[in-house]
Amino acid sequence: MENFTFQSRYNIAAIFLFLSLLFSLNSMAQTTEVRGKIIDKKTNEDLIGVTIKIKGTTVATTSDMAGGFKIKAAKGDVLQISYIGYDPQEIIADPTKEVTVVLSPKSSNLDEVVVVGYGTQKKATVTGAIETVGSQAFASRAVTDPLLALQGETPGLLVTRTSSRPGNEGISLQIRGATSVNGGSPLIVIDGVPASTSNALTTMNPDDIESVTVLKDATAAIYGARSANGVILVTTKRGKGKIHLDYTANVRMNTIGIRTPVPSEQQYATFWIDANQQETVPDYWGWGTLANLEKMQQGVQGIYSTVYWGDIFIGQANRIDELFATRPSNQQTMSISGSDEKTNYRLSLGYANNQGNLATAYDGQKQYNLRLNYDYKVTDWFKVQSSVTYQKDQTSGPSSGLGFDLAAEDPPFFPAKNPYGEWYANFGNAGNRNSVASTTDGGRNISGNELIRADLKADLELTKDLELEGSASIQSNQYSNTTYNLTVPQYEWDGTLAPSALNPQSNISEASNNNFYQNYSVLLRYNKSFGDHHITAVGGMTAEKNEYKGLSANRTGITSDGVYDLNAAPTTLETNAGGANDWGFLSYLARLNYSYKDKYLVELQGRRDGSSYFAPGYQYSNFGAASVGWVATNEDFFKNLDLTWLNNLKLRGSYGVTGNNSGIPLYGFLSTINQGSQIFGSVAANQPTAYLSGITTNDRTWERVKQENIGIDLGFLNNRLTSSFDYYKKQNNGMLINVNYPSVLGGTAPFTNSGILHTQGWEFQVAWKDKVGEVNYNIGFNVGNSTNKLIKLYGQSTIAAGENGAIEGYPLNSWFMYKTDGYFQNQAQVNAYYALYGGKGEIPSQTDPTVALRPGDTRKVDLDGNGIISAVGSNGSSGDLKYMGDAAPHYQFGLNLGASWKNFDISSFFQGVGLQHLERTGTLEYPFYAVYLNSDISYLGKTWTPQNPNAEFPRLTVYGARAQWDYLHNDFMLQNNRYIRLKSLIIGYTLPKEWFSKLNIAKVRVYFSGADLFEFSSIKDGFDPEQGATSQNDGYPFMRTWSFGVNVTF
């Protein structure tokens, strides 16, 4: 029996073993390799890095550079195919044939994930005023600075510059208008950590940027004391898909755009001749006679006899032509990236050499970039992210010759050199100005930054819904500058040494400073769905410390021997300085998001900031915000309305308190002790003294800015047409100002939170994306406007003619101009005017012929009716000045146009301003600002004469006091700086793939890219609309860039 039982069990086991082997062999026969290819439905292009996963398993792969994939699967398995920006698909695996999967781009971007403060959110559930600019805004652009690529891309973000000179653009940022009289700029956050210096973004490789998110309303409050001016979140690219290498190179030609409107020899003389025709007492200044000026007007070159400078040579010498020409630039980037189940990585390199248009010497900026982003998944519940960044920039240009002397003081008829090849002295023998000589031999200004940054972040999954995150960031920026000014001798036309020289006292200065920043954070994240409810939360703390140390030194008497180092100069006359400071932040933060069926949305957030800027016991302050949203199109009743043309309707609103740390000095709670001397004692003598620098207070804190926003998002026609509108308010009810107290106070009062500034505005954008046949096209437009009013400013300053920075009851930077009533047409009108107002106020004396008003001069209006022409009225009023708006740009807009057909693509971007009041300032503000200066040629032919009584401008006069009366701060001098400019034009062609299939090259694209190619402007006086108000320091022309490049993917 036992033998039978044993034998039976053995037989049964053998049968089971046989069946198992048979089943395994059968299964192995069925599990074979499935092959396929994935393409874009619209463009038919291969899609790289698409995820292909067997449903219900962890088996997955990604598509290669040709869009192909292969995966081990059994017949009948379900393959899930997903790709960012595309609708997912599921297909049944069939090993017997190769499949082609066609993915459709998402018709809506609502499923996109956007970066927000300390996390991400689905765009459909965002309740704040948040805009995201994708990597396409930076691709193929003919600019190196990412900020210039952001100009006009999103409403509410104002990017301005005052020059196109590389490294000296003067770029500034503002989100939603003014926040404070103390200024302030947006907080820049890169990969979740604040950037310690501005060059971290301005010299970043644009190809490294995945997206830029702009937090514009109270949703920025999670950044606390630095959030009132908005926050810009920059996310860099990380590896994905199979390994691939991308290389991009472009060569640029920078040509001269709008030139500063300085005169030629003939135009210079015409100014003098026309002006003296209207004078009762002509003044030909050093030119002596009308005959001399008439020869100059005819362009005669030769020796002229003058009053002050003797016999000098005058010839054609256009400084713009002598100094500027077309110059090349180039940029190259390369990256290698990829990912697998455990790791993803991206290593990028960048180099750029951007040259300005200066022809006499190198003037530009070189940039070097290295970035490594590396992520490693240690286990399913623990992963690490790391990033290492190296950025270096060096800006080099002449130390003199590109400012005041170029645009205003260098007359257009002194050649750079005399017949002997020596630098020709201005006015023949003065020798103190020659911008060609200055830029060539007068010295250099070399500055640079070297940024090293290392980031490390670890994510620990505690439970399915709970995650712990810790991060650390170390940033070190080393700045250096060397400036030397060399003496350049000047010569008269006959070779005689001129009495003066350029930079008669040569000198060299060195400066160096280091900024070392540390940031540490610990965050707890929670993400839970239950039924129709979804909750996400984040909370934790951050700690920051910044240490600064700087040194500088200067010596005079350095020689032009080719060695330009501080030790090469004598120690006879030298100075030095140095200093150090540090500050710290300790912060606690939290945010809670709740969603019900993705139609009722709530967000709550708060932050408590503590800072070493304030005295112990006064260091902490709280900030926070709440926002709500309602997605009406997700309501059942709305779906029953059968409004198929309306796909998205979301209403949202936010309110919160944000902080502004501008205007708060380091260690401002301490009063420093100054040293001096005073004569006193029983025997009067100069005795040493010590005294406090001023009164301090512990009541001062960050400016707290209340922000409100309401908005609506719309999507029509399967979301081919999208639009949004926002209206906002900002109220700074504790603005830091310096209150003027009575002198009995006995000291200088500190800044206190006593001012009030209110700002409001709106933003609108609309976009259309569609396809006609094989042509894909898109159109986008955005526009916004912001206004402000200074509600309270204790101890306000008196209103003055021109631009006023801060006047209670008016916007910041308000214009107050003299109201005018045309120009005097005859002497009778002049006499009647003097009968009413002569001898009082600001009216020029009638007895002095060099200042007395005559026909053609400006007639100012007695606006306040007190019988006096004056900018100051009774009781401190504005007198005869009229408020005419503010200097801020209004109605900033951007227009995107793009299309693609087969292998061709084209995109263009226009940016502009609809209204900006501007009065030109400086030495080219109006004709004959001073007799030794040039005049703006835009006025020629447009001034009053007896033959042109209806001219746009008053008559010309060589006398400065009368020219000031006629032009300075008069209402007709206020211009509207309205313009539209083609900021970018990109035309590309992707070469056929079969040309390179044997070279393992996935894609080759060639393109043309242009920047600032043309513009339309309402500016009347000839300057570039982006230059700003100043005239005297901007002889450097704005440039246009023409770029040709290639993108190659291996």
Q: Which residue has the tokens 């260690």?
A: 667
* pLDDT number for residue 5: 42
CB 369 within 8 A of CB 335: no
pLDDT in tens, 870-905: 988 656 577 899 999 999 999 999 999 999 998 999
CA-to-CA distance for 331 and 336, rounded, in angstroms? 17
| Segment 847-865 mean pLDDT | 94
Looking at the predicted structure, is the pLDDT value of residue 314 above 70? yes
Which comes out higher in pLDDT, residue 516 or 18? Answer: 516
The CB-side HSE value for 225 (13 A sphere, CA atoms) comes to 22
* pLDDT number for residue 670: 83
* pLDDT number for residue 2: 39
| Segment 936-943 mean pLDDT | 95
Among 327, 306, 367, 342, smallest CA distance to 492 is for: 306
Tell me the CATH number for domain 2-103.
Answer: 2.60.40.1120
CA-to-CA distance for 10 and 3, rounded, in angstroms? 10
Residue 701 phi, psi (nearest 5): -145, -175
Query: Comparing 2-103 with 136-238, is the CATH topology the same?
Result: no
* pLDDT number for residue 750: 80
Among 389, 333, 378, 325, smallest CA distance to 356 is for: 325
What pTM was estimated for this model as a whole?
A: 0.88
| Segment 269-287 mean pLDDT | 94
CA-to-CA distance for 128 and 1035, rounded, in angstroms? 43
Q: pLDDT band for position 293 (50/70/90)?
A: very high
Dmax (CA) for the chain in angstroms is 147
Q: pLDDT band for position 19 (50/70/90)?
A: very low
Q: pLDDT band for position 110 (50/70/90)?
A: low
Strand extents, DSSP E, 462-532: 466-485, 488-491, 497-502, 507-530
Name the packing angle between helices 290-297 and 265-277 (round to 10°).
140
CA-to-CA distance for 968 and 981, rounded, in angstroms? 29
Looking at the predicted structure, is the pLDDT value of residue 427 above 80? yes
Looking at the predicted structure, is the pLDDT value of residue 342 above 80? yes
Q: pLDDT band for position 22 (50/70/90)?
A: very low
CB 197 within 8 A of CB 477: yes
CB 27 within 8 A of CB 41: no
Q: How many CB atoms sit inside 10 A of residue 622's CB?
A: 14
Q: pLDDT band for position 410 (50/70/90)?
A: confident
CA-to-CA distance for 739 and 754, rounded, in angstroms? 8
Q: Which residue has the tokens 């401008």?
A: 953
Q: pLDDT band for position 626 (50/70/90)?
A: very high
pLDDT in tens, 462-479: 999 999 999 999 999 999
CB 654 within 8 A of CB 618: no
Residue 337 phi, psi (nearest 5): -150, 160
CA-to-CA distance for 547 and 514, rounded, in angstroms? 8
160 is written with which tokens? 């301005």
Looking at the predicted structure, is the pLDDT value of residue 1033 above 80? no
Question: Which residues contact residue 178 at a Cβ distance below 8 angstroms, ignoring those fewer than 6 apart?
Answer: 757, 759, 786, 788, 812, 888
Q: Which residue has the tokens 């009108």?
A: 829
CA-to-CA distance for 573 and 556, rounded, in angstroms? 6
* pLDDT number for residue 29: 40
pLDDT in tens, 504-546: 999 999 999 999 999 999 999 999 999 999 999 999 999 999 9
CA-to-CA distance for 227 and 1002, rounded, in angstroms? 44
Annotated domain spans of the chain: 2-103, 136-238, 265-315
Q: How many CB atoms sit inside 10 A of residue 908's CB?
A: 17
**Average per-residue pLDDT for the chain:** 90
173 is written with which tokens? 């940022």
Q: pLDDT band for position 693 (50/70/90)?
A: confident
Lowest-confidence pick of 15-24, 106-115, 564-573, 807-816: 15-24
Our CA dihedral for 686, 690, 696, 702, rounded to 10 degrees, sits at 100
CA-to-CA distance for 321 and 327, rounded, in angstroms? 13
Residue 67 phi, psi (nearest 5): 85, 0
964 is written with which tokens? 């000031």
Looking at the predicted structure, is the pLDDT value of residue 17 above 50? no
* pLDDT number for residue 942: 96
CB 762 within 8 A of CB 728: yes
550 is written with which tokens? 């700087």
CA-to-CA distance for 569 and 566, rounded, in angstroms? 6
* pLDDT number for residue 617: 87
Cα–Cα distances in angstroms (integers) from residue 443 to residues 354, 438, 484, 503, 808, in the given order: 20, 7, 5, 9, 46
* pLDDT number for residue 675: 82
Q: What is the CA radius of gyration of the chain?
A: 35
* pLDDT number for residue 30: 55
pLDDT in tens, 181-209: 998 999 999 999 999 999 999 999 999 99
770 is written with which tokens? 């569609």
* pLDDT number for residue 962: 95
pLDDT in tens, 611-621: 999 888 889 99
* pLDDT number for residue 13: 45
Q: pLDDT band for position 748 (50/70/90)?
A: confident
Three-state SS for 288-331 is CCHHHHHHHHCCCCEEEECCCCCEEEECCCCHHHHHECCEEEEE
Which comes out higher in pLDDT, residue 694 or 832? Answer: 832
Residue 439 phi, psi (nearest 5): -75, -25
CB 717 within 8 A of CB 647: yes
* pLDDT number for residue 929: 93
Looking at the predicted structure, is the pLDDT value of residue 866 above 50? yes
* pLDDT number for residue 894: 95
231-236 and 187-190 as β-strands: parallel, antiparallel, unpaired?
Answer: parallel
pLDDT in tens, 23-62: 343 444 456 788 888 888 766 778 877 888 888 787 888 8
Tell me the CATH number for domain 136-238.
Answer: 2.170.130.10
| Segment 279-304 mean pLDDT | 94
Looking at the predicted structure, is the pLDDT value of residue 1031 above 70? yes
**Cα 11 from chain centroid?**
83
Q: Could you give the 3-state DSSP secondary structure of residue 257?
A: coil
Q: pLDDT band for position 625 (50/70/90)?
A: very high
Q: pLDDT band for position 4 (50/70/90)?
A: very low
**Helices and strands (DSSP H and E) totals, the chain:** 11, 52
Q: pLDDT band for position 106 (50/70/90)?
A: low
Q: pLDDT band for position 744 (50/70/90)?
A: low
